[in-house]
Amino acid sequence: MSNKPKAKKPRRLHNYDIIDIVGQGGMATVYKAMQKTLHRIVAIKELHAAIQAEGVPKKRFEREAVAVASMSHENIVGIYDFFEHDDNRYLVMEYVGGVSLEEIMQKCRVLPIDIVVMIMLQVVRALEYTHAMGLVHRDIKPSNIMVTHDGVVKLMDFGVVHTTHWENLTVPGTFIGTPRYMSPEQIKGNTVDFRSDLFSTGIIFYELITGMTLFDGSDKTEILQKIIRRSIRRPSRVRPGLPGVIQRAIMRCLRRDPRKRYPTTQQLRRLLEQFLGNQNLLTMRQRISLFLKEKRCVRVDDTELLPAMGPELAKPLFTAHFMSWWVGPERFGFWRSMLAATAVSVLAAFCLWWQVPTVASGDNAKAVGGLKVVATPWARVYVNGRLREVTPFEQPIAIHAGYNRVILEHPSLGRRGYEVALRQGELVTLAIDFRGFAKSQGVTP
């Protein structure tokens, strides 16, 4: 049985209407709320009452607010406000609609290599900015990394962030962080700097690539001992064919001696960018988003659907105001309730139709076979001038009889065209390694 205090959902806090409880841990509860003055959804983090009375957690909570408020980066969850209400302290943050990296790892045991690198590149960008601000996160782990429904990666929970300018709040003989993702210097109680975050990043990178837990154990002591002493199996032995540059990046982050890790976070970021061919952010996000939706890793709720319909309907208050007018206490009636429910269902259906790409009925009617594509690192697939898929995809693309013009395109490494003649019931597979193709065309991958 859990000893965590059970949170009761308040109806209103300060200038915010509480919608739901979206997370609860040993130290804090996180609410989803509406900031009525600005018509936006936010997340509110409340320190538990029992914790508020303790000096160190309370000071760390205040530090988190100050540290993150000073930062502005697309890959870091933003802070909007910090206030006191009824002797409790609250942190108002950007609400991130999506899933944690931890959830993705549970649903998709092994991810495509390019997806892993695209996710880790955004994590490293967030860390590069954090480290440039003179801060060390100290708690890098999958549950503290969110991936939005449109493929943006967000680093969050700076509750144990530290800088040399601050008083050390860690009690001698104790350590801060999550055991499975701690660096050796954290475990030993030594002074930590940005390289400690790189070690934790290396653990996540390893686990995403291999689908295996790097440091496991029956208890905390066993896990910590393995981090300090256990030899690390090269990820290519678990996942044959792993590009050498990615393996070397992972293993360098996991060096036990901090001096042997990357001398700057920027150097790791540049390496990952070069591996991906210096793709633009929009392309990467689209690739991540399509993959997560295909694997059904991302839930699509009303706060994510409405923005796809345009700025007027994107206001989160739209649904709340509509329902309030139709089924509010003063106007409640059977027929209005039925009409309101029908209208909201139609709106949700339209949003889904708007956001999810579909195959034209004419294609399905003529389809007599399928097309599969295997592309390294990945490719956009155009059939007869229309974008049909982004690799990898599970189900073959339905194409009709006769000759079809197929183009495989990578934004940085080029494009290649094929004439595909398909007979009834035939399945055709196209394979391309864009790195080799790019070199043959005189392009540096």
Model pLDDT for residues 89-104, shown as the tens digit of each residue? 888 989 998 899 999 9
Contact 126, 73 (CB under 8 A): yes
Percent of the chain residues topping a pLDDT of 70: 72
pTM: 0.67
pLDDT tens-digit map of 41-85: 999 988 776 665 555 566 666 776 777 777 889 999 988 888 887
Q: How far is CA 407 from CA 49, 161, 374, 381, 388, in A?
A: 60, 48, 13, 6, 10
Round the CA-based radius of gyration of the chain to a whole number and report it. 25
Contact 215, 228 (CB under 8 A): no
Among 308-312, 346-350, 386-390, 416-420, the minimum mean pLDDT is found in: 308-312
Q: Of the listed 20, 86, 87, 139, which one is catalytic?
A: 139
- Separation CA 11–CA 329 (nearest Å): 17
Q: Active-site residue 139, yes or no?
A: yes
Percent of the chain residues topping a pLDDT of 90: 37
Q: At 251, list the tokens.
A: 């293993």
Q: What share of the chain is helix, strand, coil (3-state, %, to 5)?
A: 40, 25, 35
